[in-house]
A and B are shown apart, each in its own frame.
Chain A
Amino acid sequence: MSKEHESGMSVIVKTITRLTVGLIFLFGIYILVHGHVSPGGGFAGGVIIALSFVHLMLAYGKEVSFKKLPRAVVHFFESFGALMFLGIALLGFTSGYFFINFISKGQPFKLFSAGIIPLCNIAISLKVGAGLFAIFLALVLLKFEAEKRK
């Protein structure tokens, strides 16, 4: 543990966080990618990915978390998720109408199947995860500034 990371919680919490935060992130990606063959999907996966960064921020303080994921990147991902969802919907015009499932369906019960549904899951998860993490950042930073004034 280096010297400049003195903010945050105690050493026990930091060690446990360092061991588990990667697993939480990986579990979020698993829930997200398998959304069309098993329970889960974009909403739950996005919130789990946001929770992994929230976990990191609560344990280590805001400097380390901003080094991993700056605020501009969070806002970029949120807008990118919304635009990607709209873009997939607009691409349906190439073969018919809005939101048509224009990629081939594939074989059921396989990971690469179901056309645009996995792509939409990825877009939704980017949108939800980045949006909720931006909300959390805004509320936490407001609290920090109110404490600083006193």
Chain B
Amino acid sequence: MIEYLSSLPSAVAQGIIWGVMAIGLFITFKILDFADLTVDGSITTGAAVCAMLIVNGCPVAVAMLAAFAAGMLAGLVTGLFHTFMGIPPILSGILTQLILWSVNLKIMGKANQALPARNYFLLVSQLNRTRSILVLAAVVIVLIAILYWFFGTEYGASIRATGCNLHMSRAQGINTAFTKIIALMLSNGIVALAGALLGQYLGMADINMGRGAIVIGLAAIIIGEALFARIARNFAMKLLAVVGGGIIYFFVYQTIVFLGLDTDLLKMLSAVVVAIFLAIPYWKKKYFTFAKTPQASDNLPFASAENPDGEVREEDGDHA
């Protein structure tokens, strides 16, 4: 039991790191409505860039900035695949992910790079969990503050509009190809930053560390949404809920480890849980159409007797 309790701080630290990654994913998955598989590669890129620079004598702050920039480049590639070359979102991400596999090997020169905290000054490390958690909490607060500001600006609003309605965005003069690229770059920059933190915390960068990252990120988003939906109404709280989701994911993970269940099965379990949660909105629509939420029912000067909801009449358009 003591062993279990002593593993919890580590669960919190790793949960926050993956929460940061999930915040990056939130930008593409939730705001842009773009399932971006680049993240499986860009998280490793972040760790690899950060580890190599620190091992070669770079200060940790510079290494992390470089990791962020490398992630943004990865996002740029995916963005160009999608907007300039017309490749569907999922495939664009997969292609960049594959490119990054080679790039990551080239960055490290091998499949694994050790980054021992005893030899270098690191921001976070397993050896000092309390300090790590405090540092990570600060990172999360600063990150959420910056994103809250950015998505409230004129430009941030145009990115949100792009994810919501392409027709409307173009009709309002928004260059939707450009906003998509910016969002993908920002997202992957944050994911790579999470990778840099993860590499420091684990004391190594490994070519396989990003495998299935998107599923863990989605799990964090979904858990956060499910558990904190009532309190997480504004944008900053939603991002905080995502980090909460990441922490809970790793609590569950540690519990499974403690109970002696086969951890090899964890990725499968995560995937199944994510799949079910992704299916819920679809099932709701398909099987529970009668339990419709009272959409647009209050305060309706435009509603009429024939059409109490002021709903759209079905009519085929002039498609010429």
Instruction: Please determine whether chains A and B interact with each other in the same assembly.
Output: no
